[in-house]
């Protein structure tokens, strides 16, 4: 398993709504994440909208993103969630930049 971390920015005026949507992620989206190798996936949100994401990938971050890009439900979810993120015209999964792991304690 490859540990993957990334940062995104949620618009401050949309934080409450963003949290609500993640209390009830669509079941078909959850199934797609499992199918495409996203394990132990967590999102952490700071009060200013800074979002830290972590998951464990079967192969790599890019392979996981590529797998989700082939899932129809992912396109619908990304369209639905796009207004919540800072960024110009991109979906969140197009703005994710993998953070370099510099330390790990098992």
Report whether pLDDT(97) > 90.
Answer: no
Q: What residues are labeled active site?
A: 22
Q: Quick one: tokens of 51?
A: 């979002």
Global pTM value: 0.90
pLDDT > 70 in the chain, percent: 98
The whole-number pLDDT of residue 26 equals: 98
Give the residue from 34, 30, 32 showing the smallest Cα distance to 71: 32
Give the residue from 59, 41, 60 showing the smallest Cα distance to 51: 41
- Tens-digit pLDDT profile for residues 2-35: 999 999 999 999 999 999 999 999 999 999 999 9
Region 37-56 average pLDDT: 97
Give me the domains of the chain, ranges plus CATH numbers: 2-98 (3.30.70.100)
- Tens-digit pLDDT profile for residues 55-93: 999 999 999 999 999 999 999 999 999 999 998 667 999
Task: Tell me the three-class secondary structure of 48-71, residue by residue.
Answer: CCEEEEEEEECCCHHHHHHHHHCC
């Amino acid at each position: 398993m490859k540990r993957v971390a990334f940062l995104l920015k949620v618009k401050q005026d949309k934080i409450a709504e963003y949290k609500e949507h993640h209390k009830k992620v669509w079941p078909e989206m959850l199934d797609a994440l499992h199918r495409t190798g996203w394990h132990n996936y967590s999102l952490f949100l700071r009060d200013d909208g800074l979002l830290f994401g972590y998951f464990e990938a079967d192969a790599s971050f890019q392979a996981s993103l590529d797998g989700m890009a082939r899932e129809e439900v992912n396109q619908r979810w990304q369209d639905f969630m796009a207004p919540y993120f800072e960024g110009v015209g991109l979906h969140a999964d197009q703005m994710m930049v993998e953070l370099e792991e510099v330390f790990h304690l098992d």
